[in-house]
């Protein structure tokens, strides 16, 4: 058992390299979504993230040297070769280094015996877990902050896979998922433009809230940004399968908790910042500082920053450690890249992108709303910053068919617009409602809830926003988790009640989310819009710790179809009468 002091978790250079050809297939755990084509890979046989099939064993002595600790002693320790790393004792595979981390309820060292039985080669832990880890008889590496060392160690175990990938990271409060999908669409177009008879188009990757993708293969996501051990394994699988470039969401949690340790992004994108995750961050300044970490020399090489956002301007005006390129969807002349001549439609927006040296490119956001013009512009600028031709980038972004759960239409032949969107914070709710108001000739009937065990400060403002901007505001449950759904609704209702009666729509309170969606549909007439907010792509609802199947898109479609049947029966009776 060897001890050492903690060191930085993300250290060492990285080089983007677009390789000449695809590699041999690796392994992939793919979980199809209901709205996606079936996955072509088999069901998983081992828990945990996908792993590469070919890993050079790294001597434990080499990893100890990287940590700055003395090599472990004991039977087999000097010869031990590590072929994987995981923080989840259930996902240990033979040859793994098990990272036993301190947790809120349990210390990971308590599960060292399980890791040993599954074939772990060694344990990485802190002084508090050292004795329990050593009791397994495995070699133990001890550092003060194992989480802070885990990312760089995982990168080393898998042969620094990120160095062979062009990586674009996206952070901000709203729009990360949409921007990531748009960038990935642009990466595909860029790879196709460089393909030839001798060099087929390389695969692209996506890592984010909804899913991760390796080419057309999909992996269901558990969180916005995977844990460092899973992330580096995923990079290794991507490299093995021939991916050359990847778009990735980077959350504030990931930056604070070291999930992207071991990563240096070629381009870092900042969309915007508004109140969110206040149960995790002490205040907005703390939230901003977490996001700004992506724009340090240890995390990225170049920033792409939204000049229309106050926090983005702070980065552009000197609070970024790396050079920045700015963009403005509002057309600010101070920005390097601007959107002008914006024309918003019911389902998309068209505009012109103006850039340095007189560059002018026609562009299209495949999703409606001014905020999606900003997302599309951010995607194009990020791609150009990475080296893509502006027109190729803009065409690739425009060709994206849509983003799961982001202004996603549900069409069952009804005479009104029905939309599901992931908006679950005040600014996002307001932006979606204002955008749809511009293209809705009739009334808007909107459904919204707030999640339990999360930021409580946004509940009243969200209730107020819905009441002020929708003709019908149906307050309902989201994922109440361990909280009383009625207590959450009471706070939302209090916010709605603060809106003067003359300025608010009809407010309905329905705890059951399916009933709330049905109530909104029942009020809809031709020319109206039904908007279901908050859960977007999610396919479950967490109530008192039990996750029940629930997909807003499916429930909305079923409500529309039932309503159409009821309408047909009523019309027939009226005709007969």
Residue 178 among known ligand-binding residues: yes
What is the C-alpha separation between 451 and 134, in angstroms, rounded?
41
The DSSP bridge partners found for residue 531 are 419, 446
Q: Buried b vs exposed e over 302-331: b needs ≥16 C-beta within 10 Å?
A: bbbbbbbbebbbbbbeeebbbebbbbbbbe
Contact between residue 335 and residue 328 where contact means Cβ atoms under 8 Å apart: yes
Q: Starting at the earlier edge strand, list the strands of the sheet with 84-86.
A: 2-4, 140-143, 122-125, 96-99, 84-86
Residue 408 among known ligand-binding residues: no
The DSSP bridge partners found for residue 144 are none
Residue 259 among known ligand-binding residues: yes
Residue 328 among known ligand-binding residues: no
Residue 176 among known ligand-binding residues: yes
C-alpha distance from residue 490 to each of 62, 453, 509 (Å)? 57, 15, 9
Which SS3 state, helix, strand or coil, does residue 349 take? strand
C-alpha distance from residue 223 to each of 251, 455, 546 (Å)? 9, 17, 18
Contact between residue 244 and residue 204 where contact means Cβ atoms under 8 Å apart: yes
Residue 303 among known ligand-binding residues: no
Residue 224 among known ligand-binding residues: yes
Looking only at the bridges linking them, the beta strands covering 337-344 and 349-354 are antiparallel
What is the C-alpha separation between 170 and 193, in angstroms, rounded?
24
Residue 352 among known ligand-binding residues: no
Residue 326 among known ligand-binding residues: no
Residue 175 among known ligand-binding residues: yes
Residue 573 among known ligand-binding residues: no
DSSP annotation string for 189-255: HHHHHT--SSSPPPEEEEESSSEEEETTEEEE-SSSS--HHHHHHHHHHHHHTTEEEEEEE--HHHH
Six-digit token pair at 255?
Answer: 């930056």
Residue 251 among known ligand-binding residues: yes
Check the CA dihedral 397-402-405-407 and report its sign.
Answer: positive
Residue 333 among known ligand-binding residues: no
Residue 5 among known ligand-binding residues: no
Residue 89 among known ligand-binding residues: yes
Contact between residue 381 and residue 304 where contact means Cβ atoms under 8 Å apart: yes
Query: Which parts are annotated binding residues for ATP?
Result: 172-178
Query: Which parts are annotated binding residues?
Result: 89, 172-178, 224-225, 251, 259, 454, 478-481, 534, 538
Query: Which parts are annotated binding residues for meso-2,6-diaminopimelate?
Result: 454, 478-481, 534, 538
């Amino acid at each position: 058992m060897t001890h050492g002091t903690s060191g930085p978790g993300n250290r060492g250079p990285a080089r983007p390299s677009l390789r000449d050809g695809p590699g041999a297939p690796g392994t992939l755990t793919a979980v199809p979504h209901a709205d996606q084509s079936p996955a072509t890979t088999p069901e998983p046989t081992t828990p945990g993230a996908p792993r590469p099939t070919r890993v050079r064993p790294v001597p434990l002595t080499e990893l100890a040297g990287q940590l700055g600790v003395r090599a472990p002693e004991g039977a087999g320790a000097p010869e031990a070769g590590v072929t994987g790393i995981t923080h989840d004792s259930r996902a240990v595979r033979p040859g793994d280094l098990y990272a036993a981390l301190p947790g809120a309820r349990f210390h990971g060292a308590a599960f060292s015996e399980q890791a040993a039985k599954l074939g772990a080669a060694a344990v990485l832990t802190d002084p508090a877990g050292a004795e329990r880890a050593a009791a397994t008889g495995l070699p133990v590496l001890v550092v003060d902050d194992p989480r802070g060392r885990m990312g760089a160690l995982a990168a080393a175990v898998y042969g620094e896979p990120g160095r062979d990938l062009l990586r674009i990271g996206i952070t901000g409060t709203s729009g990360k998922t949409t921007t990531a999908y748009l960038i990935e669409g642009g990466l595909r177009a860029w790879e196709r433009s460089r393909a030839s008879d001798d060099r087929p188009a390389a695969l692209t990757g996506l890592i984010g809230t909804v899913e991760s993708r390796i080419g057309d293969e999909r992996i269901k996501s558990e969180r916005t940004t995977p844990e460092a051990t899973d992330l580096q394994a995923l990079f290794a699988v991507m490299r093995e399968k021939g991916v050359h470039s990847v778009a990735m969401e980077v959350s504030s949690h990931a930056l604070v908790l070291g999930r992207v340790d071991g990563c240096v992004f070629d381009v870092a994108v900042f969309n915007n910042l508004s109140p969110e995750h206040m149960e995790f961050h002490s205040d907005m300044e703390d939230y901003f500082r977490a996001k700004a970490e992506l724009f340090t020399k240890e995390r990225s090489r170049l920033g792409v920053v939204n000049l229309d956002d106050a926090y983005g301007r702070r980065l552009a005006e000197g609070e970024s450690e790396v050079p920045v390129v700015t963009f403005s969807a509002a057309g600010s002349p101070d920005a390097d890249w601007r959107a002008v001549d914006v024309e918003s439609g019911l389902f998309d927006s068209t505009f012109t992108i103006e850039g340095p040296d007189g560059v002018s490119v026609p562009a299209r956001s495949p999703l409606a709303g001014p905020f999606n013009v900003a997302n599309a512009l951010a995607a194009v600028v990020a791609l150009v910053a990475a080296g893509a031709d502006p027109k190729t980038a803009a065409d690739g972004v425009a060709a994206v068919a849509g983003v799961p759960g982001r202004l996603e239409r549900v069409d069952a032949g009804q005479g009104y617009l029905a939309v599901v969107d992931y908006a679950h914070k005040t600014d996002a709710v307001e932006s979606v409602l204002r955008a749809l108001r511009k293209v809705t000739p009739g009334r808007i009937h909107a459904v919204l809830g707030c999640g339990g065990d999360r930021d409580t400060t946004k509940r009243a403002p969200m209730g107020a926003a819905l009441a002020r901007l929708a003709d019908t505001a149906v307050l309902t449950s989201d994922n109440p988790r361990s909280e009383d759904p009625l207590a959450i609704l009471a706070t939302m209702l209090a916010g709605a009640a603060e809106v003067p009666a003359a300025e608010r729509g009809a407010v309905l309170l329905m705890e059951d989310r399916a009933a709330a969606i049905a109530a909104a549909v029942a009020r809809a007439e031709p020319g109206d819009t039904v908007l279901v907010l908050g859960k977007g792509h999610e396919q479950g609802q967490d109530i008192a710790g039990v996750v029940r199947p629930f997909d807003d898109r499916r429930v909305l479609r079923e409500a529309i179809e039932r309503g159409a049947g009821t309408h047909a029966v009523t019309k027939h009776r009226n005709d007969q009468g």
